[in-house]
């Protein structure tokens, strides 16, 4: 047997960098379009494309679970459908519950992580993952940091 370890580097900000403000604005706007009558947990995502375009998405629930879709996949699939020639540079996530921005980090689910990994592979470039709460922002330089043993081709 061999014992191995895995090290993941990430940045933690107590104050949101100004360069992230347009993504915060779009992600917050997207929380307002969430359809979440079951969880009452509105997630907003903002995707920054290689030309500076920002595409948003929000979680869309359905009574026939798991027929809904997470904000991350809504945003990424919308970006790929409308701008297939542009790579995704960043994805910004946040959540609102009870009308208030959630003061905890919201991280992509496993399915979203796998989709984001494939988008990285499709375009051959890393996607910066920005996880926001009012008290801190965590930034990963690649989705691979969130899913190091991803399914790959």
**Residues with catalytic annotation?**
72
The sign of the CA dihedral 100, 101, 103, 106 is positive
What's the rounded Cα separation, in Å, for the pair 83 and 143? 20
Query: In the block, which residue shows the tokens 């993952």?
Result: 129
Tokens (6 digits) for 78: 């919308």
Tokens (6 digits) for 39: 């969880």
What's the rounded Cα separation, in Å, for the pair 150 and 153? 10
Tokens (6 digits) for 51: 């030309």
Beta bridge partners of 73: none
């Amino acid at each position: 047997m061999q014992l191995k370890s895995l090290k993941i580097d990430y940045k933690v900000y107590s104050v949101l960098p100004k360069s992230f403000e347009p993504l915060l604005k779009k992600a917050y706007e997207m929380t307002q379009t969430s359809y979440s009558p079951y969880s009452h947990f509105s997630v907003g995502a903002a995707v920054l494309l290689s030309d500076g375009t920002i595409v948003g998405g929000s979680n869309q629930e359905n009574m026939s679970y798991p027929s809904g879709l997470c904000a991350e996949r809504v945003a990424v699939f919308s970006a790929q459908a409308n701008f297939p020639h542009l790579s995704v540079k960043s994805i910004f996530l946040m959540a609102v519950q009870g009308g208030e921005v959630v003061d905890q980090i919201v991280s992509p689910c496993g399915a979203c992580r796998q989709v984001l990994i494939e988008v990285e592979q499709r375009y051959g470039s890393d996607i910066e993952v920005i996880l926001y709460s009012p008290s801190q922002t965590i930034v990963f330089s690649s989705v691979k940091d969130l899913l190091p043993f991803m399914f790959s081709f």
